[in-house]
Amino acid sequence: MPPETSARPLDLICFGRAAAELYVAFVNNGPVHVTGGTANLRGSVVSTPAASYDVSATMNFAGATLSGRFNGNNTGTVAVPSGWTLTGDTTLNIGGNGVVWTGGDLNTGAYTLTNLGPLTITPGNVGFYGAI
């Protein structure tokens, strides 16, 4: 099954205690707005240079596989709580509060992770395999 492709805005708003659990693989060509609750991205996310992420709530890359360029601004929380794997060269350009890596392993494989914004790493809870 090919990944879903989105060029239209994707607005993620979660109310109450439940989180939005997104297991779908998708190619993002447009804006993503996370404005309430928690959005857990658990599938494969390919982000093009046209994509943008505006987070004022919580967006987790929860065991997700990432590839591409992630541009955006974070006034809430963008976190990696349970590891991540690169499936292509990946650039994180998340301003504001940046990205917080709180748990799990990063496996870059044969790919490169480039970070252009704030990246906070919680010592003792994370592992790294590959090259930055």
* 132 residues of the chain, pLDDT tens digit each: 455 555 555 666 666 566 888 888 888 888 888 888 898 999 899 999 999 999 999 999 999 999 999 999 999 999 999 999 999 999 999 999 999 999 999 999 999 999 999 999 988 889 888 866
The three-state secondary structure class of 97 is coil
What phi-psi label fits residue 96: left (phi over 0), alpha (psi between -120 and 50 degrees) or beta?
left
Residues 10, 31 contacting (CB under 8 angstroms): yes
In angstroms, the CA 129 to CA 91 distance is 17
In angstroms, the CA 97 to CA 71 distance is 13
Residues 125, 106 contacting (CB under 8 angstroms): no
